[in-house]
Structure 1
Amino acid sequence: MTELRRSPLHDRHVALGAKMADFGGWQMPIEYGASGGGVVAEHTAVRTSVGIFDVSHLGKATVAGPGARDFVNSCLTADLGKIGPGQAQYTLCCAEDGGVVDDVFSYLVSDEQVFLMPNAANADEVVGLLAAAAPDGVTVTNQHEDFAVLAVQGPKSPQVLQALHLPVELDYVSFVDTDFDGRPVRVCRTGYTGEHGYELIPSWQDAPALWDALVEAARGLGGMPAGLGARDTLRTEMGYPLHGQDLTRQISPVQAGSSWAVGWQKPAFWGREALLAEKAAGPARRLRGLLVTDRGVPRGHMNVLDADGAVIGQTTSGTFSPTLKQGIALALIDSGAELGESGEVSIEVRGRKLAARVVKLPFVPSHVR
């Protein structure tokens, strides 16, 4: 059995009484119930005040050398030509058949340097694919344990950063390299919660001191540390896809509603021909939001039925929404399914049917811009 890897903040999480679990081969906090949090309280803190997340399990890699930007642009889906240095971009690493190997954030440092943040479980594969395709002079360096990633999310996130004398006046999906207490840190106006927020990227060894300062400032504002359980409920309320559930090798960007992250006019990227063909033909299924109108909580891999009881799809993610106090789900629904004006469907949950309806995403308003 492979031993789980640990964040540089592992001891901090244990001291806070966090419930730990395996996330992509990393032992990470689900919630901090023993210290007064819990998923619902942590979720609510992010929506109303501020939450501090450790997401250091996310991958980190640097592509560097002459033509690094152009090389990455020829591999990943989004068009790096549309942003400038100091800006970030959500993108996808696809297989040639259009399936999604991973979703990735690209940070354009310069034409000769791109910093990438893939998911924990897929980081080695993404780095390996890029390294194998890199031209002479371009290097791809896996830096998974060189940097930590701390997310500060919520309406009071600017006050937290201001307390640490860190910059807050950043445009959405932009970043700046600065320092905290004399140590370098990258501050990014990004996040995965739908709230105003930032992601901070310090070196691995500098993460504990930065975490301590962030948590202290957050607690002074009514905020708290938040685990990956709240991160999941927050992102589901936004309809943000999670790789491995809503995006997979079998679920393409066209099906998942992620076509906006594809530079369709680019001459080359992995999976281009397959995705263009699917886009032209129309996908056989599409990711939709389901709002449960019964008492009950859906999970992934549950059948979705139409009014006549016929299976028309399957849930990919499902949870209880702390904001709405209702069950919510993301589901792949057959494109030809007849839903009617009200969009009423049902979800099979352990032998019973939960009434639900198809709704436009996100489930709750976004405040990221």
Structure 2
Amino acid sequence: MSEDSLPPAPLRSPLHDRHVELGAKFADFGGWTMPLQYSGVVEEHTAVRTAVGVFDVSHLGKAAVTGPGAAALVNATLSNDLAKIGPGQAQYTLCCDDETGGIVDDLIAYYRDDEHVFLIPNAANTAEVVRRLRAAAPEGVEVTDQHRDFVVLAVQGPRSDEVLAAVGLPTGHDYMSFVEADFEGSTVTVCRTGYTGERGYELVAPDTVGVALFDALLNAGAPHGLVPCGLGARDTLRTEMGYPLHGQDIRIDVTPNEARLGWAVGWKKDAFWGRDALVAEKEAGPRRRLVALESLGRAIPRPHMSVSLVPDVLLGEITSGTFSPTLKKGIALALVASVVNPEAQVGVDVRGRRELFQVRPLPFVDTSVRGS
């Protein structure tokens, strides 16, 4: 095998050596070697629900859309309506295939002004999102892949404000809004967002100050119960909230209508990728829907396990399944036929045994009382 035919080596976060020192166990995430866990998934999950944790999510993509008409390009291609927000606000949106309406990626758009929009797609999809935007960009608009230029740190949990204040970063701004602040001479973007359902912030900083920022958060957070958290806990936390993960719950053959993400589509816009296909599907009704399932016994569901209404009537399959550290039971997201009743009991094939699960509303865990 020639060197040219070898797969590319996994990328590493600028904080990789710190994670090694902290005893992290690693796994591949979208071509990046990232921390899976430190002290353990349940302990880290519980810290975020009760106090505060910090995640390195620098594997997430970063792309800049700049120039006259930058915001107009984003609004004419991505699903959500950028006109609904203003400078200093962020928005969850989707990059859909123009022909099928399938989800190429879900991402966050940071709207700085009409000439500057910063995007955070998923790691594995960054190059494809950038490619599609570049192909659609008019003269004067530049789409730049900045995947390796920044670190992204997520400080999540009820005590996240105290931790950020202790390192001199702004807190208390509205949900899905961002503020730029100075940290050791570099500009850090502090956005009130996250993937856990808890109150929290995501910090986007130049990679040159990533280690110093991470160390400062660990030191300042110690009195508040902060622990470093891996992506294993991030997965259990987001599943408890019903937040979809690209590559599992959403993907190119799943549409926003099927994934119950119609709220992230600007249906009144004249144009966005996939509009015709999605409007037609919405009017006809999608054939599948993403639903939440809760175990009625001790079974722990895993992706690709089949879901049936009765033993011989296959409905679909689990897309995300895990043990909920908060509820102490198995929970799942499943893509199933739309005929399923919102209050139905279904069977899941768990290692050859048909285990009963209850269809239920989301989220599995209500964090609203904690001011997320």
Short-chain TM bin: over 0.9
- Residue 77 of structure 1 pairs with residue 79 of structure 2: yes
Deviation of 1:307 after TM superposition, in Å, equals 3.8
Deviation of 1:103 after TM superposition, in Å, equals 0.3
1: distance between equivalents of 2:222 and 2:330? 29
Normalising by structure 2, we get a TM-score of 0.96
Question: What secondary structure does 2:283 align onto?
Answer: helix
CA contact (8 A) 2:153 2:204 kept: yes
Amino acid in structure 2 at the alignment position of 1:210: L
Offset from partner CA, 1:229-249 (integer Å, 9 cap, x none) = 000000000000000111111
* 1:323 aligned residue: 326
Aligned to 2:92, which of 87, 90, 93?
90
Amino acid in structure 1 at the alignment position of 2:88: G
* 1:14 aligned residue: 20
1: distance between equivalents of 2:147 and 2:281? 34
* 2:198 aligned residue: 195
Aligned to 1:248, which of 251, 271, 278?
251
Deviation of 1:180 after TM superposition, in Å, equals 1.7
Q: Which moved more, 1:216-225 or 1:148-157?
A: 216-225
Question: What secondary structure does 1:149 align onto?
Answer: strand
2: distance between equivalents of 1:281 and 1:361? 24
Amino acid in structure 1 at the alignment position of 2:350: V
2: distance between equivalents of 1:364 and 1:70? 37
Percent pairwise identity? 61
Deviation of 1:183 after TM superposition, in Å, equals 2.3
* 2:58 aligned residue: 56
1: distance between equivalents of 2:332 and 2:145? 34
* 1:311 aligned residue: 314
Amino acid in structure 1 at the alignment position of 2:70: A
1: distance between equivalents of 2:202 and 2:281? 34
Offset from partner CA, 1:2-51 (integer Å, 9 cap, x none) = 2000000000001111000110000000000xxxx210000000000000
1: distance between equivalents of 2:185 and 2:130? 31
- Residue 5 of structure 1 pairs with residue 7 of structure 2: no
Deviation of 1:176 after TM superposition, in Å, equals 0.8
2: distance between equivalents of 1:208 and 1:111? 32
Aligned 1:267-278 pairs, distance under 5 A: 267-278=270-281
Question: What secondary structure does 1:105 align onto?
Answer: strand
Amino acid in structure 2 at the alignment position of 1:279: K
* 2:361 aligned residue: 360
1: distance between equivalents of 2:355 and 2:177? 42
Deviation of 1:157 after TM superposition, in Å, equals 0.2
Question: What secondary structure does 1:251 align onto?
Answer: coil
CA contact (8 A) 2:60 2:147 kept: yes
Q: Which moved more, 1:302-311 or 1:79-88?
A: 302-311
Offset from partner CA, 1:264-305 (integer Å, 9 cap, x none) = 000000000000000000000110000011112101111111
CA contact (8 A) 2:311 2:347 kept: no
Amino acid in structure 2 at the alignment position of 1:49: A
- Residue 38 of structure 1 pairs with residue 44 of structure 2: no
1: distance between equivalents of 2:197 and 2:154? 12
Aligned 1:1-369 pairs, distance under 5 A: 1-32=7-38, 37-96=39-98, 97-307=100-310, 309-337=312-340, 339=341, 342-367=343-368, 369=372
Question: What secondary structure does 2:213 align onto?
Answer: helix
Let me know the Cα RMSD of the aligned residues: 1.1
In structure 2, runs of 5+ residues without a counterpart are 1-6
CA contact (8 A) 1:43 1:230 kept: yes
2: distance between equivalents of 1:151 and 1:222? 15
Question: What secondary structure does 1:42 align onto?
Answer: helix
2: distance between equivalents of 1:358 and 1:223? 34
Deviation of 1:219 after TM superposition, in Å, equals 2.1
1: distance between equivalents of 2:217 and 2:227? 9
Question: What secondary structure does 2:224 align onto?
Answer: coil
In structure 1, runs of 5+ residues without a counterpart are none
Deviation of 1:308 after TM superposition, in Å, equals 5.2
